[in-house]
Amino acid sequence: MIKLIGAIFIILSSSLIGMKVASYYVLRSTQLRQLQVALQWLETQIVYGSTPLHVALNHIAVRMNGDVRYLFAAAADALTHLKEASTRECWESAIEKEWHKTALRKPEKEVLLQLGQVLGQSNREDQQKHIRLALMNLKSEEDVARAQQQKYEKMCRSLGLLGGLLVVILLY
């Protein structure tokens, strides 16, 4: 009887681990999608609204769903409160601080950091070009992430379950 309960526990926990790993793949592509929506919104606010950067970022932080918004909230906060820092430093500090809350990876971090170097530093036309470029890069990252998701999501789930089963069989 006890053996049976133990076996169920092992299978349960290993399949949970599998699901967790799988959900990470899903989360990354979702957040990449959200990041693109956020940047598109930023573009609109800059190009058509001529909204100051900290106000625009705040709008995004308030109205967006998902963990991506923490990045924008932190950046808006840094721009208003770090008096002596340049725009780039504010942006970088926000990304470093809040990155761990997202499921995003290094390539998209690079894209954002690169955008931070020019954000707010030129006229609208130029800002638009840079944001478009970042969007394009994020889109290609998203495509890669989706492909990975398709490949590994199911596999991780079944691997969790099967791994649990294997342990149980070995121990039984």
- By CB under 8 A, name the one of 41, 67, 97, 120 that touches other proteins: 120
In the complex, minimum distance from the CB of residue 126 to other proteins, in angstroms, rounded to a whole number: 8
- In the complex with other proteins, which residue's Cβ is closer, 90 or 135? 90
CA distances 24 to 36, 106, 146, Å, are 18, 15, 12
Helix (H, G, I), strand (E, B) or coil at 142: helix
Cα(110)–Cα(137) distance, rounded to whole angstroms?
A: 10
Figure out which of the listed residues 122, 148, 150, 158 binds other proteins, where binding follows CB under 8 A. 122
Nearer to other proteins, 121 or 140 (CB): 121
129 binds other proteins (CB under 8 A): no
Choices 66-74, 123-131, 139-147, 157-165; region in contact with other proteins by CB under 8 A: 123-131
Burial class of 31 by CB neighbour count within 10 A (0 to 12, 13 to 18, 19+): buried
Rounded CA separation 68/86 (Å): 22
User: Is there binding between residue 65 and other proteins (CB under 8 A)?
Assistant: no
When binding is defined by CB under 8 A, the residue of 5, 106, 123, 169 that contacts other proteins is 123
Which segments within the chain are labelled E, that is strand? Answer: none
**Largest Cα span, the chain:** 73
The C-alpha atoms of residue 147 and residue 25 are separated, in whole angstroms, by 10
Nearer residue to other proteins within complex by CB, 83 or 106: 83
Q: Establish if 54 lies at the interface with other proteins (CB under 8 A).
A: yes
Which positions touch other proteins (CB under 8 A)? 46, 50-54, 56, 79, 83-84, 86-87, 90, 120-124, 127
